[in-house]
Amino acid sequence: MSDRVVEDYRGYQLVAAAKGASFVGKAWKDGTCILNADGNSLSEVLVLLKISVTKVLEHRAESEPPPDVAQCTDALRAILPSLSDRQLAMLKAHYRAKDRCLTATDLAKAAGYANYSAVNLQYGNVGRLMWEAVPRKLPVGADGEPIYTFALAEAGDRDSPEHEWVWRMRPEVAAAIKELGLDV
């Protein structure tokens, strides 16, 4: 068994290691140690660090103003290498849409998915990456988890409860897409 574990989590690098008879860990962001933890095992230290990182992100989302264009541009630039071709296709289609408004079904068509359920997962993953880079207060779903798509877009009107939401891309996200030349 290794006496050291390194793991990327929500934009932070977590390092847990055995130190004598105890276990310690640190969370690093951009080369700076942000958090420390100690516990009874490597896995306990990693769990404690993950809980702490999540709390830091949630605190930032609650206390800081929403991200501006420059912050969104930096965040999008940072996450671009992590995006799949289909995720990028959804972002571009959303940007190009009339009034930058699309439903999940429209996004599915743009990315070549059979239906919107894959979009809910994949576009939500893009939103989660954006949120981790530039946290903002997000609505919470019935499961108690943030709805990460709101990091990319706002929900527009629905004709009725059985109709899909129409997602309107946030202006600062659209500006970041244009700034990075992804609008072509």
Indicate if the pLDDT at residue 5 is higher than 70.
Answer: yes
Indicate if the pLDDT at residue 160 is higher than 60.
Answer: no
**Rg of the chain in Å (alpha carbons):** 19
Q: What is the mean pLDDT of the chain?
A: 91
Per-residue confidence (pLDDT) for residue 16, from 0 to 100: 95
Indicate if the pLDDT at residue 25 is higher than 90.
Answer: yes
For the chain, the domains span 4-63, 69-179
Share of the chain above pLDDT 70, in %: 96
> What DSSP designation does 171 have?
H
Per-residue confidence (pLDDT) for residue 26, from 0 to 100: 95
pLDDT band with cut points at 50, 70 and 90 for residue 35: very high
Indicate if the pLDDT at residue 19 is higher than 60.
Answer: yes
Indicate if the pLDDT at residue 159 is higher than 80.
Answer: no
Query: Rounded CA gap, 81 and 50, in Å?
Result: 23
Q: What is the pTM of this model?
A: 0.80
> What DSSP designation does 145 have?
S
- Using N-to-C axis directions, what is the helix angle for 85-96 and 171-179, rounded to 10°? 110
Mean pLDDT, residues 96-104:
94
pLDDT band with cut points at 50, 70 and 90 for residue 158: low
- Using N-to-C axis directions, what is the helix angle for 69-79 and 116-133, rounded to 10°? 110
Residue-wise pLDDT for 36-79, tens only, equals 999 999 999 999 999 998 888 888 888 788 899 999 999 999 99
Contact at 8 Å (CB) between 126 and 87? yes
Mean pLDDT, residues 128-151:
91
Looking at the DSSP bridge assignments, the partners of residue 101 are: 168
Query: Rounded CA gap, 172 and 12, in Å?
Result: 24
Regarding beta strands 153-155 and 101-102, do their DSSP bridges make them parallel or antiparallel, or are they unpaired?
unpaired
Per-residue confidence (pLDDT) for residue 179, from 0 to 100: 96
